[in-house]
Amino acid sequence: MFKALQITQPETGYRCDLTELDESSLPEGDVTVQVAWSTINYKDGLAITGRSPVVRKFPMVPGIDFAGTVTDSQHPRFKPGDRVVLNGWGVGETHPGGLAQKARVKGDWLVALPAGFSERDAMAIGTAGYTAMLCVQALQDHWAARGVAAGSGEVLVTGAGGGVGSVAIALLAALGHTVVASTGRPAEADYLRSLGAADVIDRATLSAPGKPLQKERWIGVVDSVGSHTLANACASSRYGGAVAACGLAQGMDLPASVAPFILRGVTLYGIDSVMAPMARREAAWAALDRLIDRPKLAAMTRAINLAEAIQAGHDILAGQVRGRLVVDVNA
């Protein structure tokens, strides 16, 4: 038996409970993992609360990522004792996920954990931080193709107090960029500056409907918010700038015009972390190992236990979570 969160949909309504499951309940897969740590991402909040139809099969163990140790493997790349990390692939949505003490998955979904990371570190980064790295890599590739040097302009990070935003700030600052953080929580300004933000602005300056073309400011943007915020970020990007979009905290809509794209040559990159190919995943984790500042990572992280993860799912949707929440599934 092992502890797990489990989402059910009985006649009385949608539920997420802490329970015990038998190993016979584990799904098909060629690698079994003793999970050490998981985390709470925005999508986990949607799954735990049922606010969005993230879960498409019931019952379901939520948790879109985990880190742990292989206990059994029929996959050629992994053997018992290997430390691994998983992000996405529908885990926690259509395949039982990481908010449990055990998981069984396809070995093709796993990335070998870089030696420089503990399992806790890996989940302090989590899918939010891995997604932030994919965003930063898209911007880096864009800038490299155009000869844009670090420090040559401001880079905007929206939803800055969340998991994606916090890691993106730390990464961009480590690369020498001037980062402007957008947040709806003014009290977090000192925290955001401690991560590397040079300036902090109120999200209200971006979240309302705006002009289709605005004063040029950003050479790049990491956006986890969507809707009017993303539209305004595009509209205020500099000529040849780039915007990496990876989230929908404000909404799935994009009330924008083509003006920034056809008059300023702005590029909008869609960042998918769920089905990203293995080479891109491994490159992202290798870059995180090189770039992430461990003290900054620790400063943005708080640990909770498995039982507390249910309330944390509600808290993250309410905007009450700063940085990263890691879940000790064995506590």
Q: Is the pLDDT of residue 79 over 90?
A: yes
* Architecture field, domain 127-270: 3-Layer(aba) Sandwich (3.40)
Output the 3-class SS for 36-103. Answer: EEEECCHHHHHHHHCCCCCCCCCCECCCCEEEEEEEEECCCCCCCCCEEEEECCCECCCECCCCECEE
C-alpha span between 79 and 195 (Å, rounded): 37
- DSSP tag of 153: S
Q: Is the pLDDT of residue 13 over 90?
A: no
For 224-243, what is each residue's pLDDT tens digit? 999 999 999 999 999 999 99
C-alpha span between 80 and 155 (Å, rounded): 43
Pairing of strands 65-73, 31-39: antiparallel
Mean pLDDT in the chain?
A: 96
Region of poorest pLDDT, from 49-53, 102-106, 172-176, 262-266: 49-53
Q: Residue 146: what pLDDT?
A: 94
C-alpha span between 70 and 82 (Å, rounded): 5
C-alpha span between 121 and 119 (Å, rounded): 5
For 128-186, what is each residue's pLDDT tens digit? 999 999 999 999 999 999 999 998 999 999 999 999 999 999 999 999 999 999 999 99
Which residues in the chain are classed under CATH 3.40.50.720?
Answer: 127-270
Band (pLDDT 50/70/90 cuts) for residue 10 is confident
Q: Is the pLDDT of residue 26 over 90?
A: yes
* Architecture field, domain 2-113+300-328: Alpha-Beta Complex (3.90)
Q: Residue 5: what pLDDT?
A: 98
Instruction: From residue 147, give the alpha-carbon distance in Å to each of 120, 143, 252.
Output: 37, 6, 32
| pTM passes above 0.85 | yes
